[in-house]
A and B are shown apart, each in its own frame.
Chain A
Amino acid sequence: MLKRPSTRRRSTAPEIQLNLVPMLDALVTMISFLMFTMAFLSFTMIESPIPMVSSQENEAKLKEPPLQLTLTIKDSEVTLWSPFDHIQPVSIPNKPEGGIDLLKMHEALVGIKQKFPHENQIAFVPKGGTTYDDIVQILDSVRNFDKTDPPVAVLNEKTGVSEQAKQLFGDVIFANLLGGEE
């Protein structure tokens, strides 16, 4: 049986120690800078252009009147309608406990999108008492697809290939901004 090797070491080389202090200084400076300059709040936005009044000449140039899907918020219901009667008006009553039934409204919008896949614009007519929170929730429901929604195919005119629509009705215009009903 072999003898166990000795654990004793005889070394004359000096022990190397890395000087971490300058690196530590650099790290502390970088962390301070990053914490000072970074934004901890994560904002998002919903963009909406101001409505424009279209001239009669422009309207005459259109071969076919547009869908002009309109979402009107009323005291007890939400109505989806088209001023040119492209769709039957859909009324979605508020939930029994109060508040807009966003789920049913979204389902109705997906149904309309399937019929008019190229349509991206919606005119939004809130009432004066609608809160900003409600407006954001409604616009979220109007603009974005849910994961459970059926895919809507849109033909890309440039490539000639059908693609999945990325947004439901992404272009929202506050229709009663410059006047009109609330």
Chain B
Amino acid sequence: MASRSIRQRRGRHKIHKDFELQLTSMMDILVIILVFLLKSYSASTNSFATVRGIQLPISKTTEMTPDSLLLIVTPEAITFENQRIVEFVQTADSVGGTSPRYEFKAEDLDENGMRIAKLYDALNRARDKAELLRQKSPARDANGQPLPWDGIMAIQADKRVRYDTLRKIMYTAGAAQFKIFRLLAMRQPQS
């Protein structure tokens, strides 16, 4: 079969001179999407993210969540400010988050099993860094002193985590001079 000439092939795809794409309906859709996004955007004031394998509890509370240092308890480990600090004891069932155990290795704990040593070090480093930033900041109190460190930590944990695990975390944070805990949850949809 003889091949068609280039001119013939071009002619086949030739668009008619008067053809004009109707953009009005697309504009309508895009404007609606834009309005929806702008309306939703005002409600999002934090930069918290969640991780895969974590099921957050749902809360009726409507308080907004300002940004703060974030600790996440995943089925595999504790991460603080996106750094994996301590890994839990892993078993065949706990891998993948099907039935996590949230048990610490004995060598990771001190002070009669209440304080998580690696987390304590990480929290102290974060506090030192925050205090240094406060000292360098131009914001000062009435006496010209740097503003005191707020010591706030947000905790994002799976809903199956037991209080004895949370207690160790909060105890460790308290030892590192954190003063306020923000327990994060998903906001219950308004009915």
Contact = CB atoms under 8 A, between A and B. Distances in A.
Given A44-B184, A46-B185, 13 more contacts: A30-B34, A43-B65, A44-B59, A44-B64, A45-B61, A45-B65, A46-B59, A47-B181, A50-B178, A129-B162, A174-B167, A176-B167, A177-B171
Contact of A48 (B46, B48, B57, B183): B183
B72 to A, nearest CB: 12
Contact of A41 (B50, B63, B154, B162): B50
Interface residues of B, number: 55
Nearest to B174: A50
A39 interface: yes
A5 interface: no
Interface string A106-149: 00000000000000000000111111110111011001100000
A21 interface: yes
Contacts of B167: 128, 174, 176-177
B65 to A, nearest CB: 5
B112 to A, nearest CB: 9
3 smallest A-B Cβ distances: which pairs?
A133-B159, A128-B164, A39-B44
Interface of A: 17, 20-21, 23-24, 27-28, 30-31, 34-35, 37-50, 126-133, 135-137, 139-140, 143-144, 174, 176-179, 182
B171 to A, nearest CB: 6
B164 A129 contact: yes
Given A132-B57, A177-B174, A182-B164, A27 B187 contact: no
B163 A128 contact: yes
B65 A34 contact: no
B167 to A, nearest CB: 6
A182 B180 CA distance: 21
B46 A132 contact: no
Contacts of A31: 30, 33-34, 37
B24 to A, nearest CB: 7
Contacts of B143: none
B48 to A, nearest CB: 5
Contacts of B60: 140, 144
Contacts of B95: none
A47 B180 contact: yes
B31 to A, nearest CB: 7
A132 B63 contact: no
